[in-house]
Each structure stands twice: as C-alpha cells, then as structure tokens.
C-alpha cells in the first residue's frame, strides 16, 4: 500500500518502493489534470516538484511523456511541411530553422523554451543586425512549429505566440521603412551608380519595379531586347532559386534606357565569352565574380554605398521598386497596368500600398463629362430650371 510522507501531502511512497509526487495543472474538459514525477528518494521527488512549479511560474509548460527536443520535433515538422506547404514557404521555414532557431534552441526540449527565452532570442537577432523582416519571420516560424506541437499534445503552451517585439527609440517606423525616391533623388542615385558594375542592375530595378530576388534570378533567355520585354518567372529567396512570390509568371516592359544598358552588358559578356572560348552568352544576367548569381547582402551594401555617394540616406534596395510604382502612378499610368508590371495578384494590392501617390483626387473629373458631351448648363439656365 502506498505510504505518504508525513507533512508532504504531494509526495508519497508507492507500494513498489519508488517515491512519487504530483502537481496540479488545473482542469481540462471537466477533469483535473496532474503531472506525476518519480524518484528513488523523497528528496529527489521534492526537488523535481519544485522545478516543475518554478517552470510553471516562468511560463514554461511541464514536459509531457516522450517529449522531444526542438531539433527532433523540427525534423518531424519539416517532413510534414514538405508535403503541405508551397516550395518557397517550405524553404523559408527550413532556412530559418537550420540557420537561426535550432542553433539556439535545438538541444532544448519543447517545454523548456519559455516566452522570455524567445523574446531574448529575437532581441539578439536584431542586435546582431538581422533585418527586421527576417526577425519577424523567425518568430513566425517558431510559432508555427510550436502550434503543431500543441496540436500534437506534446506541450500546452506556444511560447512564440504573439510575442511582442520591443521597439527602441531608434527603431524604424513604418513611414521610414517605405521610402520611395523622388525623381530628383533617383536621378542623383543613378548618376552616382553610373560606371559601377551594379549600374545595370540598379537601373533595371528602378525602371521595371522587379523585386530584387526576381532580378537576381533573371536569365538571358528571359530577356527579349527586340520587343523590350522580360519574362519574370522565378526568384531568388534565402539564396535559393524558386518561383516568384505569387507563383505566377509575368511580362514586364523595358524602357529604352534599360534595354540599352542590357545590350551593353550583353555585348561585354559576349566579348568575354569569346576571349575565353566559352561560347554564347547564357545563364544569369547579373553575376558575381565567380559567374554565379548575385548575393543580396553584397548588393545591399553596394546600394547603401551608392546612396551615400548621392547624398541620400534611410533608403533600402527594395525602395527602387517602390520608386518605380510611385513615379508611374504620378505620371498617370492606370493602376491596373502598374499592378501587372509589379506582379501583384490584383490592383487592390497596388492600391493598398500606393494610394497616396495617385494623382490629386481633388481634380474635377466630373466636370470633364460636361465638357466632353457639350451638355454644360449655364448659370442663367440653371436659374430658370430651379
């Protein structure tokens, strides 16, 4: 018969000679939930119970039976995700897990990862210079993985769910992270870039609105200089080649300046191929020193250096895309055309991002209807009909 230790209602000696302890986890579906711990001595069980209570007070859920480490569970999660997710989404999850999350938490059991630990992890990512969007995606990835673990009954709490991101006084505000260049600023930027290896790329981004990853993925086979169009059918994300963000291909018009710059680049590449005896020009349009596709971090650094040379600050590489959209809209281009060029799923997306750059809505468009039909009513006629 089980024997309780005097004065310790939650610790008792079992009939099999082991000591046992229990902690109350509350009620679920009308039933009381308890977690039991076992040990060879009453002292070891009491210590285990203290640890459980401490974990609960710190927001750490107690470990369930057979609970794996995050690394083990992440492998299981990725196996399922490969079948259920879009390839690009799967690649992003895998990259963030392998390169950021698992090096920090992979050895820990799931319930040992607290909200405080997740907050500290995100703060460290930001402190080490990781882009705000990548930090956001790292938190989202952790939340998705833990949501799966909660659904599997392995843990009770998701420590990454809606973790707030503290903003310092110097943290960029929304209006500072979305800063298209004006016509004058863009002219200064392109002038500063002229003559650099990055100039054709920067010009293409500024005059076509391609996402940087779409430009990095561009092959010569996608470029039709005679019709001045390019086929955008893939992108580079997290250093890997995959589909575009919307998983749809599109054709983008090339202004004469971009077509001329690409002709010059192609001619230079053809001369190099001839001297090396490597045949016709093919493969990526924009290459690094080894002939491979460009790395975004290096291009981003070149962009910042060029912007500084032009006397500009606070802009990002992606702002060249925003500049293209806003300047087109200011020039009176139909929003449906701008949406198609940008690769937005529909014009409502374009409107949501760029509504404030549309031509002045106070113009009296309604008056133009009378002018076009010749049905204008004079003040005297209006008085007669009143």
Any idea what the Cα angle at residue 106 is, between residues 297 and 86, rounded to 5°? Answer: 60
| Listed ranges 8-22, 59-73, 328-342; the one with the highest mean pLDDT | 328-342
Do the domain assignments include residue 339? no
Do the domain assignments include residue 324? no
The stretch 213-231 carries a mean pLDDT of 94
Output the domain CATH number for residue 137.
1.10.150.130
The answer to whether residues 325 and 319 touch, using CB atoms and an 8 Å cutoff, is no
The residue from 111, 139, 171 where one domain ends is 171
CB-count burial class (<10 Å; 0-12, 13-18, 19+) for 198 = middle
Question: With pLDDT > 90 as the criterion, what percentage of the chain qualifies?
Answer: 37
Question: How many structural domains is the chain composed of?
Answer: 3
**Token digits for 373?**
């039909």
Whether the pLDDT of residue 2 is over 60: the answer is no
**Residue of 123 and 56 predicted with greater confidence:** 123
Do the domain assignments include residue 346? no
User: In angstroms, rounded to a whole number, what is the distance separating the alpha carbons of residues 246 and 304?
Assistant: 28
* Whether residue 166 sits in one domain with residue 185: no
The answer to whether residues 30 and 17 touch, using CB atoms and an 8 Å cutoff, is no
Q: What local confidence, expressed as pLDDT, does residue 172 receive? A: 36
* Whether residue 49 sits in one domain with residue 77: no
Do the domain assignments include residue 334? no
Confidence class for position 31, pLDDT limits 50, 70, 90: low
Q: What local confidence, expressed as pLDDT, does residue 368 receive? A: 64
Do the domain assignments include residue 200? yes
- φ, ψ for residue 347 (rounded to 5)? -65, -20
| Listed ranges 9-13, 65-69, 234-238; the one with the highest mean pLDDT | 234-238
The residue from 317, 351, 366 where one domain ends is 317
* Whether residue 202 sits in one domain with residue 251: yes
Q: What local confidence, expressed as pLDDT, does residue 17 receive? A: 78
Give 141's Cβ-side CA count (13 Å radius): 27
What is the residue range of 219's domain?
180-317
Do the domain assignments include residue 284? yes
Do the domain assignments include residue 382? no
**Residue of 18 and 316 predicted with greater confidence:** 316
Q: What local confidence, expressed as pLDDT, does residue 282 receive? A: 82
Do the domain assignments include residue 136? yes
* Whether residue 256 sits in one domain with residue 129: no
Whether the pLDDT of residue 4 is over 70: the answer is no
Each residue's pLDDT tens digit, 261-273:
999 999 998 888 7
Task: List the one residue out of 335, 346, 328 whose CA is nearest residue 186.
Answer: 328
Distances (CA, A) of 338 to 124, 234, 320, 329, 334: 39, 19, 14, 7, 7
* Whether residue 191 sits in one domain with residue 107: no
Q: Is the pTM of this model over 0.85?
A: no
Mean pLDDT of the chain: 81
* Whether residue 185 sits in one domain with residue 312: yes
Whether the pLDDT of residue 165 is over 60: the answer is no
Tell me if residue 25 falls in helix, strand or coil.
strand
* Whether residue 107 sits in one domain with residue 35: no
Output the domain CATH number for residue 202.
1.10.443.10
Confidence class for position 228, pLDDT limits 50, 70, 90: very high
* Whether residue 188 sits in one domain with residue 284: yes
User: In angstroms, rounded to a whole number, what is the distance separating the alpha carbons of residues 376 and 360?
Assistant: 24
* Whether residue 313 sits in one domain with residue 250: yes
Q: Which residues contact 345 (CB under 8 A, 6 or more apart)?
A: 246, 248
The stretch 113-127 carries a mean pLDDT of 90
The residue from 317, 343, 377 where one domain ends is 317
**Residue of 383 and 201 predicted with greater confidence:** 201
* Whether residue 145 sits in one domain with residue 85: yes
* Whether residue 9 sits in one domain with residue 136: no
Tell me if residue 13 falls in helix, strand or coil.
strand
The stretch 341-370 carries a mean pLDDT of 78
Q: What local confidence, expressed as pLDDT, does residue 210 receive? A: 95
**Residue of 383 and 323 predicted with greater confidence:** 323
* Whether residue 80 sits in one domain with residue 32: no
Whether the pLDDT of residue 153 is over 90: the answer is no
Q: What local confidence, expressed as pLDDT, does residue 238 receive? A: 63
């Amino acid at each position: 018969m089980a024997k309780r230790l005097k004065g310790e209602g939650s610790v008792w000696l079992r009939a099999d000679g082991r000591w046992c302890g229990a902690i109350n986890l509350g009620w679920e579906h009308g039933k009381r939930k308890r977690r039991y711990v076992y040990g060879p001595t009453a002292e070891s069980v009491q210590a285990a119970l203290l640890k459980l209570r401490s974990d609960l007070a710190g927001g750490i859920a107690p470990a369930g039976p057979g609970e794996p480490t995050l690394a083990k569970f992440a492998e299981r999660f990725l196996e399922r995700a490969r079948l259920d997710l879009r390839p690009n989404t799967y690649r992003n999850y895998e990259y963030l897990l392998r390169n950021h999350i698992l090096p920090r938490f992979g050895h820990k059991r799931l319930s040992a990862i607290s909200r405080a630990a997740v907050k500290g992890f995100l703060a460290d990512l930001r402190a080490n210079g990781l882009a705000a969007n990548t930090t956001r995606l790292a938190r989202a990835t952790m939340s998705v993985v833990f949501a799966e673990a909660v659904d599997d009954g392995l843990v009770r709490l998701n420590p990454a769910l809606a973790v707030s991101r503290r903003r310092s006084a110097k943290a960029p505000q929304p209006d500072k992270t979305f800063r298209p260049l004006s016509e004058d600023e863009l002219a200064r930027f392109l002038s500063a870039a002229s003559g650099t290896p990055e100039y054709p790329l920067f010009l293409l981004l500024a005059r076509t609105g391609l996402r940087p990853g779409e430009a990095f993925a561009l092959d010569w086979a996608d470029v039709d200089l005679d019709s001045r169009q390019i086929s955008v059918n893939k992108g580079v994300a997290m250093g890997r080649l995959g589909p575009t963000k919307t998983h749809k291909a599109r054709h983008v018009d090339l202004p004469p300046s971009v077509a001329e710059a690409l002709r010059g680049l192609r001619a230079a590449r053809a001369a190099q191929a001839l001297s090396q005896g490597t045949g016709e020009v093919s493969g990526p349009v924009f290459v690094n020193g080894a002939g491979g596709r460009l790395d975004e971090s290096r291009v981003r650094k070149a962009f910042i250096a060029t912007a500084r040379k032009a006397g500009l600050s606070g802009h990002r590489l992606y702002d060249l895309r925003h500049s293209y959209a806003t300047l087109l809209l200011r020039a009176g281009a139909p929003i449906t055309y701008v949406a198609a060029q940008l690769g937005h799923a529909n014009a409502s997306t374009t409107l949501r991002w760029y509504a404030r750059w549309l031509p002045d809505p106070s113009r009296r468009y309604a008056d133009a209807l009378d002018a076009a039909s010749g049905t204008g009513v004079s003040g005297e006629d209006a008085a007669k009909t009143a």
